[in-house]
Each structure stands twice: as structure tokens, then as C-alpha cells.
Amino acid sequence: MKLLADNELIYGRLLPISEPHLVGRYNKALKAFGLPQTALEHFRIDMTGFSPEIAEELDDRDYLDPNGVNRRFVILTPEQEHLPVVHTQFSNTAGLMHQFFDGNRRVVHAITIKDALFGEIEDPIAIVTGVEDLLAIEEVRFRVLSAEDMLGKASELRGLVDRLKSSRDGWRDDDMLNRMVALARETGDIRQNALVPDKLVFEHTSYWANHFGGVFIFRDDRTTTVICNNQAPGFRRSRPWEVSYIDIADHARIFEYLSKSGRLQLPRASWVEPSGFFEHRAEMAIFDLIGKVDPDVDLSRADKIWLQTWMHRNAGLIAEQGVYPFLQEMIREISATGQIKMGEVRSDRRLLLCRAAPAHKDQWLINRLLARLAPFDFVSRFVFDKQGFYEAYDGYSEGYRAHVVKVLSDTYLKDKAALRARLYGLEGNQDNA
């Protein structure tokens, strides 16, 4: 992973923490979680407070995610709102954190001046043993504490203020008045600066969970659809009267569900040709084949002439693998007719021609699923399915790793928004991308 780290393809854009008071507050959060305190004077954190350096020190990448559910968080500064989430078991962790920041912006800014917020994103379950446990997560609650007990002190002061207002003789209670003054010195005027979060419960809608090989849960108005490995515990047995199940290997049913629910953008010349999407996938397929057949080849010299020569020499292999000639045929079809008759396309290849409907609210989740089903396209996997990308990267040869890093550095990292807009039709910046 060093090559990825050196090129900011893993743990990029994290926030350095070195101020002693912030390190101290982080340690208080670790202690509250029952974890050893860090001896590090410098480390980096993501939006949730996860630190790769502390994970290495503790020899536990899941120190904020011990059971893959009820995610812990540590907020040292409002700046974390604009950081990525680099390690999580749920695809919507970043979205939930954004909602928490949006719903409690004044509180976060006020408290982090003197304190740190920490706690858990509480689910109704303690551990995931089957699909039923994931289906049970319909909403989450942020359980929030503070390192210096600023929240507790603000709540105590609020109670004393209410008591003073309601009691005839409260103004004569010197002990109470002195306590109020002492608390106000720490919290400030709570009438002007709210110090208790008021938006703590958020809906848990469609998402991906990193359990049982990956589980996709899509929630519509009246139905829920689960897409995962059919060996996952509870598959087709949990709530069969209200949940539809699709084996992740059943590309035909996945295509049918995504297209009928309006989640797919079917291939039309209007977007396929200007995006270069088919050409991109064809190139990805060829390089994936090269990496498997010639793992030690030096791809740094792989210009167009070199690539054509390799393809001529391996024409039989390319034909047998089939993806490249299929995509070339689809390019010609789109150019000639402006569309593709999907009913005439092999069911296991239809999804290679589609992307998520850009206007659909589940666009990132849909593209994650499509990227998982086209593992040769490492660019799509890096954009939408980083966990899957890193798993695949571990199996690449050193030469292919260098090629992957160069391609991502020269394309995606140079202008992320432009590449997402061109290939996937996604507009605007994404803090977590």
C-alpha cells in the first residue's frame, strides 16, 4: 500500500493533528471507548476521527468499528466535515456524518472551541449475524459525549437556570448561584450558544454493508430489495413477504430490477459517445488481460503502438475472453443506430453498457454495484468502491500496481469532478470522493 499512500490514493486529504490539546482530547475519547491512549504526538484523522497511524499503533483497523456496526466517531474540529471517510463498514457513514454536521453546525462549532465530541452512531443491533440484522437498521441515533464534559456541564447549567426561574427563593441559594457562575465560565452563555445537539436521529435508507461479501440494500416506497451472495445467512429467509432477494451473480435479474426501478441509464448515443464510456471500458478490459497474462510486463512503455502490437500477438486470447470485441461491436452499433437493443445482448454483459441514472438519489450506490460487477475496470472501482479496489490491488503484480497508480494519478486525481462528469454523468464536487 506504500505506493498508493505515496500518491495519495489511500489516506489522502486527511487532517494532521499535532496540537497537544487536541491530542489530549482525542486520548480522552479513546479512554472513554475503553481503548489504550495513543503515545503519538502527530497523527491524521478522517471525517469520523479515524486515524491510520493510531490504527497501526493499536494494530486494529477497526478500533472505531469493533463489531462492524455502531460506528464510533471523534470530532475535534468543524474542519472534519470536509474530509473523506477512509475506513467504514457502511457506504452511508459519510452521508450520516454530513447530516449530523448539517443538523448541528452551531453546536459543533461552539463545543469544539473548548472540547471534543465523540460517541457512536447507534444502530438497533449490537452485532450483524445475518441479513435480518441489516434489514433492522431503518434509522440511527447519534449518541454524543464530550471529552471535557462540556455537554454535561451545559445540561447541568440549563437545569439550574430553569430551577432559578421556577423557584421563589433560588436567588438566595449561594451554592447554586456560585455553581452557575462556575459553569458559565466554561460553557459561556448557553442562551446564545446552544451546546446540546438537537438533531440526532437520521434515516438509514439504501446502502451497502461490508458483511457477508458485501450486501446492497435498496429501499423504495413499498419494497426493499437485497442484492448479495446467496450464501449470506438469512438470504431469502428474512422477511420474504416484504423483501425481494437477488443473488449478486444473477446479472439478468439485477439488470431487470435496476432498469425497471429507474436506476439505470441505458446506452444511448447522446451520452455514450461524448463520454467515451465504452472506449474506457474496452481499454480497461485489455489492460486487465495484460496484467493477468503478463504480470511482469513493464507497462510504463505501453503506448498505442505497443498496445496494438500486444493485441495482434494475443488476438486469440482476446477473442476467447470476449469483453473487448463485445465492446467494440457495441461502439459500432451505437455509432450506426444511436442505441442498443438490450434484449439482444447477453444477459451477463448488459450491465457493462450501463451507468447509474445520474439524477437518481442512489446514483453512488448503484455505481458501486456496477463497479463490483465489472472488476476489470479499476477506475470505476476506485471512484465508487474503494474497499473492493484495495482488495483487488492486493492481488496485482508489482508492475500492474505501478500501471494502476499511474493511470489513476494521471486521470482521476488531476480533475476528479471532470472525470466523474464525463464518464458517469455526475455533477459537482463530492467531499467523500
Domain ranges, ordered by start, for the chain:
2-149+195-203, 265-424
Q: Which residues contact 222 (CB under 8 A, 6 or more apart)?
A: none
Closest CA to 398 of 287, 277, 319, 296: 296
What integer pLDDT is reported at residue 156 of this predicted model?
A: 63
Percent of the chain past pLDDT 90, that is, above it, reads 74
Provide the grid cell at 130: 445475518
Within 10 angstroms of residue 310's Cβ, the number of other Cβ atoms is: 19
- Tens of pLDDT, residue by residue over 221-261, are 889 999 999 999 999 998 998 999 999 999 999 999 999 99
Report whether pLDDT(165) > 90: no
What is the rounded distance in angstroms from the CA atom of residue 26 to the CA atom of residue 311?
54
**Model pLDDT for residues 36-50, shown as the tens digit of each residue:** 999 999 999 999 999
* C-alpha cell at position 238: 428474512
Higher-pLDDT residue of 319, 183: 319
DSSP per-residue letters across 130-164: SHHHHHT-SEEEEEEEETT-HHHHHHHHHHHHHHH
What is the percent of the chain where pLDDT is above 70?
Answer: 89
What's residue 405's pLDDT?
Answer: 96
State yes or no: pLDDT of 169 exceeds 80.
no
In the sheet that holds 72-75, the strands lie side by side as 72-75, 117-122, 139-146, 201-203
Whether 190 shows a pLDDT value over 50: the answer reads no
* Confidence band, pLDDT 50/70/90 cuts, at residue 26: very high
Distance, first Cα to last Cα, the chain:
19
Spatial distance between the Cα atoms of 199 and 202, rounded to a whole number of angstroms: 8
With beta carbons less than 8 A apart as the criterion, state whether 258 and 360 touch.
no
C-alpha cell at 352: 457493462
- Per-residue pLDDT at 392 exceeds 70: yes
Residue 58 above 70 pLDDT?
yes
Among 48-62, 112-126, 141-155, the minimum mean pLDDT is found in 141-155
Averaged over 142-165, what is the pLDDT? 70
pLDDT tops 80 at residue 217? yes
User: Does residue 82 register a pLDDT over 90?
Assistant: yes
3-state secondary structure of 345: coil
Question: How does residue 189 score in pLDDT terms, banded at 50, 70 and 90?
Answer: low
Strands (E), 180-314: 201-203, 207-209, 215-219, 224-228, 243-247, 264-265
Burial of 223 (0-12, 13-18, 19+ CB in 10 A): exposed
Give the C-alpha separation, 432 to 80, whole Å: 11
Where residue 377 falls (left for φ over 0; alpha for ψ -120 to 50; beta otherwise) is beta
Euclidean distance between CA atoms 180 and 155, whole angstroms: 11
pLDDT at 79: 96
Q: Would you state the pLDDT for residue 84?
A: 93
**150 burial type by CB count under 10 A (0-12 exposed, 13-18 middle, 19+ buried):** buried
